[in-house]
Structure 1
Amino acid sequence: MEIHEMISKSIFVFDFNGTLTVSKNPVDKEMLQLMVRLLKYKDVAIVSGRDIRYIHDLFIDLLPKDAKLLSRLMVMPTYGSAFYRFEPSSGQWIEVYSHRLSEEEKGKIIGAIRESVMKAGFQENFIGEAFEDRDTQIAFSALGHDAPLELKKAWDPDNRKRAIIKSFLTQTLGEYEITIGGPTGIDVNRKGITKGFAIRQLMEKTGCRLDDIVFIGDALFEHGNDYPVKETGVDCIEVKDPAHVKKLLGEVVSALEVKYAQEERA
């Protein structure tokens, strides 16, 4: 997609890990500055497999406390199973909706994952906790959430190991959505909740059209957790890493600044 086509979009939607930042690292100063410049002109949505606390800690809380700026930002954690917007009148982030799992459901999901890992022939040898309760989602890390990133990247680069675990999981958790995410993760949400669901909810809540949106993510390949966005028909840009995003955003915000400066002089 050409830059002039991108700047015609009204909503920029970003994946988080691998796109705006490296897993478990705060968004860096350069990326924050680019996002602030973008938010001056465009609405922005973050669609992530992670929960709202994670996105607050590593991104939202690092942004300037500017109500006008924050009111342009929407956050859809855990594949869109929740939706948050900033309310300028109260100065607070509000929950628009949330599809929470019950404690009974969480226990069932964790038990099914443990059984499926065992059936798949993988040992439970975790570094840190293997399960993370994200309220609307149970997230499993095959090596443990505290395992070094390089170790995680080397464990299942083609997703084949987790595909085996997922095949067993679908037999016992057929009423839930099971997504392979990140280098070692398997995420379980309510049925139908994928990043494609997030895009449809974004359209419903904002009134925007499909062609108003551009999505930027690093896992748009088939079976990647961004792939359901591509299936909605939204214009998508696949990026390699945050450095790639910075280059792209630098061109976008520069073009926007020139465009609006010209309009002001006209």
Structure 2
Amino acid sequence: MNRRLIAFDLDGTLTVSKSPIPPLMADRLRELLFHYDVCIISGGKFDQFRVQVIDRLEVSSEQLARLHIMPTSGTSYYRFVDGSWVVQYTEDLTPQRRVEIADVLMAGATELGYWESDPFGEVIEDRGSQVTFSALGQEAPPENKYAWDPDGAKKEALRAYVAARLPDLEVRVGGTTSIDVTREGIDKAYGMRKLMAALDLTSDDILFFGDKLDEGGNDFPVKSTGIDTIAVGNWEDTALALEAIIQVS
């Protein structure tokens, strides 16, 4: 396959929401890293990538050097250099803006009736370059998350509420129960363009896997970069596709 880098969304593409990648996916990524650079881009912070992916990989330092981690939709970028993970850049919101965003998210969730009195962990998380609302809390079980808003109506209502009050910021539906707020113009297309510039790649060099590539999904903006995309329904679909890619690599 004539590609230099394979890129992935995380939750719903490599694993279920906020869960470590399954052993089969860890094996697929290990094999892939023998042949290609790999990028994972998602709305979570770096610590989440470490728990869900990095700590599950049994790979060499040389392979880790080919792994590109882009937390918070590409507003930060990490590479494995000389035995440790080193931030290449980060584009944080100001502390004042992060407080303002958190206040609007809380007000919207309360007014719309979405604020949980007994959540599973943090509901509003300050990730520096992104503020994220997770309706049931960051540690909610996947089955609870998938049941909370199956048609996306709740997330869209809160997104619209926040966007109307913070018009100079980017407000988008994130994961299964989440809303992400960043600087204006920040999405996965932004992150992929930053990666292409950093690695001197073109869109033809990259293949992207995502589970929300339909219009309105948080993977959809990647299509605007010209990168070829593969839509998957779950991590099992991704594992099957990667098996075929590895066989011809």
Question: If the length of structure 2 is used for normalisation, what is the TM-score?
Answer: 0.94
Q: Which residue of 2 aligns with 1:157?
A: 150
Q: Which residue of 1 aligns with 2:228?
A: 235
| Max Rg structure | 1
Once residues 210 and 81 of structure 1 are traced to their aligned partners in structure 2, the CA distance between those partners, rounded to angstroms, is 19
- Structure 2 unaligned blocks of 5 or more: none
- Letter of the 1:53 partner, please give it: D
2:201 aligned residue (202, 205, 208)? 208
Kindly tell me: are residues 34 and 147 of structure 1, through their superposed partners in 2, closer, same or farther at Cα, counting changes over 3 Å? closer
Structure 1 residue 71 and structure 2 residue 65: aligned? Answer: yes
* Contact map agreement 1:120 1:168 (CA 8 A) in 2: no
Kindly tell me: are residues 161 and 202 of structure 1, through their superposed partners in 2, closer, same or farther at Cα, counting changes over 3 Å? same
Identity of aligned residues (%): 38
- Letter of the 2:96 partner, please give it: E
Structure 1 residue 113 and structure 2 residue 105: aligned? Answer: yes
Q: Which residue of 1 aligns with 2:43?
A: 49
Which whole-Å deviations, capped at 9, do the CAs of 1:136-159 have from their partners, x for residues lacking one?
A: 211101222233322221221222
Structure 1 residue 92 and structure 2 residue 84: aligned? Answer: yes
- 1:114-153 correspondence to structure 2 within 5 Å: 114-128=106-120, 129-153=122-146
Once residues 229 and 117 of structure 1 are traced to their aligned partners in structure 2, the CA distance between those partners, rounded to angstroms, is 29
What RMSD in Å do the two structures reach over aligned CA positions?
1.5
3-state secondary structure, aligned to 2:171? strand
- Residue 78 of structure 1: how far off its partner (Å): 0.7
Stretch of structure 1 that moved more, 211-220 or 28-37 = 28-37
- Letter of the 1:213 partner, please give it: I
Stretch of structure 1 that moved more, 166-175 or 185-194 = 166-175
3-state secondary structure, aligned to 2:85? strand
- 1:183-198 correspondence to structure 2 within 5 Å: 183-198=176-191
- Structure 1 unaligned blocks of 5 or more: 1-6, 257-266
Once residues 132 and 26 of structure 1 are traced to their aligned partners in structure 2, the CA distance between those partners, rounded to angstroms, is 20
Aligned length: 248
Structure 1 residue 182 and structure 2 residue 175: aligned? Answer: yes
Once residues 143 and 56 of structure 1 are traced to their aligned partners in structure 2, the CA distance between those partners, rounded to angstroms, is 22
Question: If the length of structure 1 is used for normalisation, what is the TM-score?
Answer: 0.88
* Contact map agreement 2:10 2:41 (CA 8 A) in 1: yes
